[in-house]
Structure 1
């Protein structure tokens, strides 16, 4: 008789959603933003292939979401879902994406309030853009919590679940991909 115990990996119960907003210094068709626009396609392709990537917001019929302006006419949004905080961190800070971070002041105004929000969602659920904006507003109004946080003040999925900030999706199916009706912008589509 063997005293080995086999470990069966369980599917992830939670994924990490992130919304990042950026206020443009110049319109996207301005020559001063040409370098940023040229980087969109390769960086989005890099994200799509990154370990732990689940989904990113795109405008219907477009490869990105730069035409969507749910947070204001001069504000572009970057909204995605990842398997873990580590996977998102690695993409943002340990990939060629870091070069965009280093040059962000060339293209975007400095924000006086938080511009990035993270929160846990049941695996398989993509929250609406409206929910993402609500999470950013919550962070701005109340500061970091298990419902809306940043890399610098993060919470684990287990901490968020224990605080009632997220609940696992019901077994036997996932919640709707759109996360509900969203009148602020077209429905999110998976890539």
Structure 2
């Protein structure tokens, strides 16, 4: 008899460099969309978890990559669930207007990776995955929608001390 392998979930980090401070009136439309979009994510099929700052409704106050860079870190049951939320929901409207609020990306701004179900990735882990993608390109360890890998591909690609997706 074989032991079933635990399910994996898909973690994602995306980053955006602000064109103006969050309290600038030119960014107000983005800020006004934060709560409705986050509420929609929380209710979306396949949503598991998202990073929020202590005592806040979102993570816009966390700036691990610099004062002008905001981060979004979340976990989803499947790649399809994340894709559906990002590109087939009201979230798409925010993405269409992103150039009004954020600089154009000059390097990878989104990274995906598999985690064991129940694992909550840290900001440090997420930033390391983004750095790995930027330095080495897509791999089972750090990839994008365009270069996706399965959880089975990713199994065993974690360094010592970090949970490997299975």
Work out whether the TM-score is over 0.5: yes
* SS, match of residue 29 in structure 1: coil
73, 77, 83: which one pairs with 2:67? 73
Mapping of residues 36-115 of structure 1, within 5 Å: 36-115=30-109
Q: Over residues 39-96 of structure 1, what are the superposed CA-to-partner deviations in whole Å (9 max), with x where a residue is unaligned?
A: 0000000000000000000000000000110111000000000000000000000000
Structure 1 residues 167 and 82: alpha-carbon distance in aligned structure 2, compared to 1, 3 A threshold: closer
Structure 1: gaps spanning 5 or more residues: 1-9, 169-191
Q: Does 1:144 align with 2:111?
A: no
Q: Which residue of 2 aligns with 1:178?
A: none
Structure 1 residues 24 and 82: alpha-carbon distance in aligned structure 2, compared to 1, 3 A threshold: same
Tell me the distance in 1 between the aligned counterparts of 2:61 and 2:152.
Answer: 35
Structure 2: gaps spanning 5 or more residues: 159-163
Mapping of residues 117-132 of structure 1, within 5 Å: 117-132=111-126
Structure 1 residues 167 and 41: alpha-carbon distance in aligned structure 2, compared to 1, 3 A threshold: closer
1:11 Cα offset (Å): 8.9
1:159 Cα offset (Å): 1.4
Tell me the distance in 2 between the aligned counterparts of 1:53 and 1:167.
Answer: 18
Could you state the TM-score of these two structures normalised by the residue count of structure 1? 0.80
1:167 Cα offset (Å): 3.9
Considering only CA atoms, is the larger Rg found in Structure 1 or Structure 2? Answer: 1
Tell me the distance in 1 between the aligned counterparts of 2:49 and 2:121.
Answer: 11
Could you state the TM-score of these two structures normalised by the residue count of structure 2? 0.92
Tell me the distance in 2 between the aligned counterparts of 1:43 and 1:112.
Answer: 25
Q: Which residue of 2 aligns with 1:19?
A: 13
Structure with the bigger percentage of helix: 2
